[in-house]
Chain A
Amino acid sequence: MLRDITLGQYYATESVIHRLDPRVKLVGTIFYIISLFCFRNAWGYGAAIVFLALVIRLSKVPFRFMVKGMKSILFLLLITVVFNLFLTPGEVLVAFWKLKITKEGLVLAVTMAVRLTLLIIGSSIMTLTTTPNNLTDGMERLLRPLKLFRVPVHEVAMMMSIALRFIPILLEETDKIMKAQLARGADFESGNLLKRAKAMVPLLVPLFISAFRRANDLAMAMEARCYRGGEGRTKMKPLIYRKRDYIAYLVLVIYLVGSIAAGRML
């Protein structure tokens, strides 16, 4: 069930966007999100849509694949639109029973929908084109200055990448234990909330025990392979900026300045 969520799951293919340094993609995503909140007119959003379309094209990730991932958050999007549509006070356009649609509400709902959609697709491009490992590496490098404030950046990055490695294993394990308890007559689906919560105990206890056992084993295996924290470690795949990364930064700055100028002044 959880495996069906494709929102932002890495899509393996070869493209310029895939090859970009993860730091460029991280910074780019942040820039893009900031830009979305600076616009005051439709021109800005127009620029954002054109820019996004270009990036999607370059990434070679099929648009259909992204839309499929959107399905899981469609509900959230709908709620936002409905709330904005009906609950914004202002000049009434349509009214039936107690519900009123105002002009301001309509504008706000459309803006929110566009903004949210762009935000989600925009940030999913980053995860669609970057392996989780690469992403953690990028974050580790970008956050390195925080080390000065004694933030354990390396350790956090290592924890994230280990978590990512074990998520599929634990999902599979959950499925197995669930089946095993079903075979012993367990019922995870009927009864009230309390009964259902209680029914989860035979699933959660074994899962926790297994997770701890794995953590223990893994710690031992890491020590046996001479792991002793970030000090003195070298990298197999060090992050190095190349020409295309500098070009990408340049394009980003042009976009940011251009779209905000258009979005606020035109």
Chain B
Amino acid sequence: MSIILDHVNYIYGEDTPQAVHALKDICLQIPDGQFVGVIGHTGSGKSTLMQHMNGLVRATSGHIYYNGQDIYDADYDLKALRGKVGLVFQYPEHQLFEVDVFSDVCYGPKNLGLDKKEVELRAFDALRKVGFPQELFYQSPFELSGGQKRRAAIAGVLAMKPEVLILDEPTAGLDPKGRDEILDQIKELQTQTGMTVLLVSHSMEDVAEYVDRIIVMNQGSVLFDDTPHQVFAHYKELEEVGLAAPQVTYIMNALKENGFCVDTSVTTIKEAADEIMRAFQ
């Protein structure tokens, strides 16, 4: 059970003079239950890659297998795939349209053709899972705060009970408080349900402490694909492509260059403090 991308290429605007090779020969395997961070700056192809995973965008060449089945097979049910691979777009609150939050969250499961009771159960469950306060269930989605709107929108995808959840920059435009709350919630969700989560971000610092694996995209190719520790070890190469490792990585490397005997692969403040204290003893 997994998603496999086999030599996927995507060329945008083929047969026009402005053709862009947006994805170049991507081979990836996402096993079940993994929490993956996908990092890259604007235009690196990370969002396009995510839209391939649920069949919204069709690869120019290559294959994508979901649970062993080729999603480009003529008889493959793409609509069902979109229910299994939930995709939360950037600024997802822009897709809210119903008169109240609860009806909006019902939209996804209703499209799956479930009966009314099941739809409502799922909507209720999804809203609870994202920590949406119950007293706001029947509020207009347009009167909520930025953070609440985003929760409602994420619940709208979650209500389809996807096996894989993809979030495209779920914290864009939120303040530090809102960002931490959303990320904590996603982490909790992942631990509780064990679902596969792909978190797209352009900030290393944000995802470092949450994910098991980081895929770094650059100019349509996979630049690194490894554990956070291993990826941040390449902090100089990351810098060259306009991405930065967490500040902790820089501090530890600077200390090492200045003769301190510290392990430079730590990624969190606590680990760094442990390391420095150890060096002092």
Contacts and interface: CB of A to CB of B under 8 A. Distances in A.
A–B contact at 8 Å CB threshold (below): yes
A173 B95 CA distance: 10
Contacts, number: 54
A205 interface: yes
Most buried by B among A182, A183, A201, A205: A183
Contact of A180 (B79, B83, B95, B112): B95
Interface in B23-45: none
Contacts of B54: 183
Interface residues of A, number: 18
Secondary structure type dominating chain B contacts: helix
A180 B92 CA distance: 8
B142 interface: yes
B56 A202 contact: no
Interface stretch (A25-33, A102-110, A130-138, A184-192): A184-192
B89 A180 contact: yes
A184 B160 contact: yes
A165 interface: no
A72 interface: no
A176 interface: yes
A177 interface: yes
A210 interface: yes
Nearest to B112: A185
B175 to A, nearest CB: 19
B51 A185 contact: no
A197 interface: no
Contacts of A184: 82, 95, 107-108, 111, 156-157, 160
B94 interface: yes
Contacts of B156: 184
A244 to B, nearest CB: 31
A72 B108 CA distance: 36
Given A179-B89, A209-B142, A185 B108 contact: yes
Number of chain B interface residues as a range? 20 to 34
B92 A206 contact: no
B215 interface: no
B97 interface: yes
B94 A206 contact: yes
Given A183-B54, A183-B56, A185-B82, A176 B89 contact: yes
A210 to B, nearest CB: 6
Interface string B113-151: 000000000000000000000000000001000000000
Given A202-B107, A209-B142, A183 B87 contact: yes
B111 to A, nearest CB: 3
A1 B160 CA distance: 29
B96 interface: yes
Nearest to A185: B111
Contacts of B87: 180, 183
Contacts of A186: 107, 111
Interface string B247-266: 00000000000000000000
B56 A179 contact: yes
B86 interface: yes
Nearest to B157: A184
A181 interface: yes
B95 A177 contact: yes
B97 A179 contact: no
Contacts of A187: 79, 111
Contact of A185 (B83, B95, B96): B83
Contacts of A182: 56, 82
A239 B54 CA distance: 52
Nearest to A202: B97
A179 B51 contact: yes
Contacts of A202: 95, 97, 107
Contacts of B82: 182-185
Contact of A177 (B86, B88, B94, B107): B94
B97 A201 contact: yes
A105 B54 CA distance: 55
Contacts of A206: 94-97
B157 A183 contact: yes
A183 B96 contact: no
A206 B149 CA distance: 13
B51 to A, nearest CB: 7
Given A187-B79, A202-B107, A210-B94, 4 more contacts: A173-B94, A179-B56, A183-B87, A185-B160
Interface of A: 173, 176-177, 179-187, 201-202, 205-206, 209-210
